[in-house]
Structure 1
Amino acid sequence: MNRRVLALFRPYRGRIGVITCLILVAALLGAALPFLTRDLIDDGLFAPGGPRIGLLCGLLAVMIALAAAAAGLGVLQSYLASRMGEDVMERLRGDLYAHLQRLPFTFFTRTRTGEVQSRVIGDVGEVQSTVSSTVPTILANAVTCLTTLAALFVLSWRLALVTVALLPVTAWLTAKVAVHQRRMIGAVQRSRAEMNVIAEETLSVSGVLLARVFGRADHGARRFQGESRRLSGLQLRAAMSAQALTTALQALFLVMPLVVYVAAGFTGAVTAGTLLAFTSLQARLFLPAGQLLQVAVQYRAAMAVFERIFEYLDLAPAAPDRPGARAVGKADVRGEIRLDGVTFRHGDRAVLDDVSLTIPAGRFAAIVGGSGSGKTTLSHLVLRLHDPDSGRVLLDGADLRDLRRASLATLFGVVTQEPVLLHASIADNLRYAAPDATDAELEAACRAARIHDRVAALPDGYATIVGERGSRLSGGEKQRLAIARALLTDPRILVLDEATSSLDTENAHQVQDALAPLLPGRTTIAITHRLETVRDADVIFVLDEGRLVEQGTHDDLAARGGRYAALLADHARTPV
């Protein structure tokens, strides 16, 4: 773990070298000041025959100049170090986000959104101050300690030995607190992640709607307040352990000069100037030493957070393109989809079991079946959101795994049961699929999806903000907007995953009417339980518990009296 954290700074070795040089020069200037103080006291202020005003003024001027130079160098090295820390965190944030984008789709289906957000934003933010200050603080205080320790031995090696003998007490106090702090910080981060999850679930549009419909707003408040109370307790314990260390160190620092005064009485032959210089140097030693130990506490605590960040970075990404995988363009694709003995498992359960089927290019195919029969999983395999555990998914006879994943995205248009809309304008939502689309192209796509007139009637037209998840639009309007967005890419293959299932009859008919003129010439795969929408399909595939049990036209399957006929009978009894 330590190596991984230190590796974050490897690209900045040159900058660290410059910072180290600045720190070394500033530390040497600072270490020289007590020697000048000794001379000012012994040779200037208490010189035989009275104070030597000229020497006092000269030494004072030199001390002011050295202090100013040391302060200026400190500001410069602080800026360079902070800039480096921000660069490190920017890269870590970007790497984590990019890595999450490459993870298998199954990761996002089993991980709560609030937990992911907590890792990307909360955890990285938590270690930002540690990363920004750790390296410069370690360098500055280590160099200061070494130069000061050397100066102490030059002034009085006997008193220096007394001082060094007291350092283990400081180290022991810090080590005791560090172990406790690491445990506490880990618990704090887990509690913050849980609060993020609760807030994301209960304060979203759908969460607020659910709570108000069922009168459970107080339930969400109790959950949040309970976790907030737990977090406050954890943070208080963490703060008190840090305060206990600070208080103990402060008490120790107050005692140190007194010990030196007593030791000086035993050693003898120490001038007043030397004693004053020594105690001022001693403060320069114990303050950075204490800060070094506190950094050690913070670093140990930050390790708990880094473990959470690296846990995500260590997750295996989705299978990369095979060596030699080729890009494919729309002009190269006819659109035939074939599954050849495909099996896909979630854990030990086969969601699809040895499924083989063919959807001819340019045809309208429907996938139907009961809940949990594997319909949506089949569409995910066609879109290559998953790869099969065994068997092949073929596009025009080519295994999808032999085609570059990025090029496949240009071939498909997808409309899901719950359209994913950003909290942005209608135009921005449309251009998410085609960033370079012109206003005329947006309008043409919306006319084709039969939503242009509705958009044009809005006060801000295409600049209208749709709200979170499209909350300002009706279900049918969101679906037709999603259809327009899909059409902007002119897909060769259109996947409709329960595109009308959540709509009332009127809206469903509007969406069906919008889709009807768009299907000819495209391979269309409709996943649905709304059987009246697939009567005109060229072929219907019936899934049951992950297996393909029937295929044919509506009339053929209805007359056969099998699983499809049973679904029709159930649908007639409970019409949508």
Structure 2
Amino acid sequence: MRQNLASQFESEGADNTAYDEGATAHVSMARILGLFRPYRGRIALVLLLIALASATGLAAPFLLRAIIDHALPKGDLPLLAVLSGSLVGLAAVGAGIGVLQVLVTAKVGQAIMHDLRVAVYTHLQSLSLRFFTATRAGDVQSRIANDIGALQALVTHTAGEATRNASTVVMTAAAMVLLEWRLALLSFLVLPLATWISDRVGRTREALTYEQQKRIARMSSTVQESLSVSGIVLARTMGRTSYLTQRFARASREVATLEVQSHTAGQWQWSVIDLVLQAMPALTLLLGGWMMASGTAMTIGTLVAMIALQEQLLFPLEEVLRSGVEVRKTRALFARIFEYLDKPVEITERRDAVTLDKATVTGHVRLDRVAFSYDQAGPATIRGVTVDIPPGSHTAIVGATGSGKSTLGYLLARLYDVDAGAVLYDGVDVRDLSLHSLTDILGVVTQDPYLLHASVAENLLFARPDATDADLHAAARTAQLHDLLAALPDGYDTVVGERGHRFSGGEKQRLSLARTILRDPRVLLLDEATSALDTATEMAMTRALDRPGRNRTTITIAHRLSTVRRADQIIVLDKGVVVEHGTHEALMGSSGAYARLVRKAA
């Protein structure tokens, strides 16, 4: 184990030689563009504004040529005033169009980011527990916050700028051809080289970005784990604060190194492009001067206008190439996001799902030859389990650690689907039930309850938002918690703290139980839900649960056997198989597996 733990930590600082495998798994541009489809009307407006802005910019060099070739040589002041005023007017129109374009682009971009965040969150909510047990929470948060956040620059700025620059390049190139095609061809010679270099740099930065986001997710997970309340307590009581600081520093250093590599990769290639682009005006003047000296029809105004168009072409062209690199980088981000969206949904609701009326549900639960394995290639965790739980009865499931008790609870709650057999409520296979109907029938309380960082009342109302104060108090009384809450300075408005650290383990379990009782489920599943309670409180709570006329079916998964003596039947599991069942007295009399468990616990 020591070696495995060391290998795990060392892998977090491994070298960055395996970028390409993940980065090359990027999604197609067609799928990315599909995100923009719902906003094609507003995108069309943006494209129209961009075209208008480019057109106004193209007119300026022609006005400049008219000023140099006609208005100035002839001293025509009225013409000069008209042409100069036109230049100012075009600039004002272009500025106004630019503001409107930025506004519309920002709204479209943020709408797309909102859709993407909600889509990822909704899809993750539909995945089975298998995904979350194998994935660090920090990685999930990083993909929703960091990866999608990094895409905002693309859809709100880069995409609009790239489109505007591309439009300017196309229109400027057309104007240059119309003005003087031979000088235009000289300017176009740089395009093949620049495009090739841009593609190479883009591929490199795409791979680096994919790896960089992986390291950012890992760093986020480290922060979440070590700076939680539990993490702080663990670090300080174990004297490992310095170690965790060094571990975080190493993760941060890796992110910083990749950030530098991402920004500087291919920089010398870009320097070549910059050099060629900067040399183009001088080469154009040289060629234009040679053409004038050789008698070719070439005016100074045409040459100046060509230089102006060239200057107008080169900057947008360079920005288009850089935008291409940014788009390649964002494909790595989309790869990570779509990797989550492509995760198969294991727990689905059938189109013809059955909805049971909670008022008429009896609470009859049956497991019929149930089999399940977490790993399809490994041994089965549950094998051929058949259990019949009559309505209104109390059934306990016990067994040694690793016998499959909690797994059976997961199957009852349909956090996983069985591999074979069936779990039935009132004779209906849980896979045929609507998800809403299942959660309406079944209430689950776990050993490690999750509480929101909110008030007690808000935590209770999470289960039933329309509950009254009287309902809250009744549920708390059943969970033997009302007197404690009422004695607090803020009562039910007391904030429970991060993961409920304001309360003790037993108080958190009772609060979780009260939250579930508030929904009044017909079937109550208690998975080690009273493990932190003292015997007196547990007995009082058990009597309170039994008080409403035994119309609720209770299933208790327990390790502490003193809690199940009064159960109507006790199911004993061993290595995923039912080895005994009966009442406490009958099982003790048989001197089998249950009796041995009781003697060990004594």
Q: Same fold (TM over 0.5)?
A: yes
Q: 1:463–1:187: structure 2 CA closer, same or farther, 3 Å change rule? A: same
What residue number does 2:521 align with?
491
Asked if the contact 2:569–2:582 (Cα under 8 Å) also holds between the matched residues in 1, the reply is: yes
Question: Does 1:102 pair with 2:130?
Answer: no
Match of 1:43 in 2: 70
Structure 2 CA distance for aligned equivalents of residues 40 and 258 of structure 1: 23
Give secondary structure in 2 for the equivalent of 1:394: strand
Q: In the TM superposition, what is the alpha-carbon distance from 1:243 to its structure 2 partner? A: 5.2
Quote the Cα distance in structure 1 between the aligned partners of 2:197 and 2:290.
29
CA 1:516–1:267: 2 relative to 1, 3 Å = farther
283-292 vs 29-38, which moves further: 283-292
Separation in 1 of the partners of 2:408 and 2:392?
Answer: 19
Shift of 1:518: 1.0
Quote the Cα distance in structure 2 between the aligned partners of 1:427 and 1:249.
64
Pairwise CA distance, 1:246: 5.4
Partner of 2:326: 298
1:86–1:132: 8 Å Cα contact kept in structure 2? yes
Structure 1 match to 2:345: 317
| Residue of structure 1 in register with 2:285 after alignment | 261
Q: Specify whether residues 453 and 248 from structure 1 end up closer, same or farther in structure 2 by C-alpha distance, changes over 3 A only.
A: farther
Distance 1:31 1:512 in 2: 85
Worse-matched range after superposition: 426-435 or 232-241: 232-241
1:147 correspondence with 2:210? no
Q: CA, structure 1 residues 35+103, in 2 after alignment: closer, same or farther (shift >3 Å)?
A: same
CA RMSD of aligned residues (A): 1.5
Cα displacement (A) at 1:352? 0.3
1:26 equivalent in structure 2: 53
Distance 1:535 1:223 in 2: 49
Letter in 2 for 1:2: M
Percent identity among equivalent residues?
45
Is the CA contact (8 Å cut-off) linking 2:128 and 2:416 kept in structure 1?
A: yes
Q: Deviations over 1:467-517 (max 9, x none)?
A: 00000111121111111111111111111101122x26x3x5324422322
Alpha-carbon distance, 1:427 to partner: 0.7
CA distance in structure 2 between the aligned counterparts of 1:545 and 1:291, rounded to whole angstroms: 64
Partner of 1:525: 555
Residue 391 of structure 2 aligns with which residue? 361
Shift of residue 236 of structure 1? 0.9
Tell me the residue number matched to 1:401.
Answer: 431
Who is 2:366 aligned against?
338
Distance in 2 of aligned mates of 1:557 and 1:193: 51
Q: Is the 8 A contact 1:479 1:511 kept in 2?
A: no
Say which is worse superposed, 452-461 or 360-369, in terms of deviation: 452-461
| Contact 2:414 2:430 (C-alpha < 8 Å) held by counterparts | yes
Q: Does 1:180 align with 2:201?
A: no
Instruction: Provide the residue aligned with 2:400 in structure 1.
Output: 370
> Take 2:486 and 2:268, find their aligned partners in 1: how far apart are those partners?
65
**Greater than 6 Å deviation, 4+ residue runs:** none
* Structure 1 equivalent of residue 36 of structure 2: 9
Matched position secondary structure for 2:395: strand
1:118 alignment counterpart: 142
Structure-2 separation of matches of 1:415 and 1:323:
29
Q: What's the counterpart of residue 418 of structure 1?
A: 448
Structure 1-normalised TM-score? Answer: 0.95
Deviation at 1:207, TM superposition (A): 1.3
Gaps of 5+ in 1: none
Alignment CA distance shift 1:472-1:411 (3 Å): same
**Cα distance per residue 1:106-134 (max 9 Å; x no partner):** 11122111111111111111112112234
In the superposition, the TM-score normalised over structure 2's length comes to 0.91
Distance across 2 between alignment mates of 1:362 and 1:287: 77
Q: What secondary structure sits across from 1:349 in the alignment?
A: coil
Cα distance per residue 1:26-56 (max 9 Å; x no partner) = 11110000110111122122x14xx332222
| Matched AA of 1:330 | K
Structure 2's unaligned 5+ residue stretches are 1-27
1:325–1:402: 8 Å Cα contact kept in structure 2? yes
Structure 2 partner of 1:164:
188
Residue 244 of structure 1 and its aligned partner are, at CA, apart by 4.7
Pairwise CA distance, 1:242: 6.7
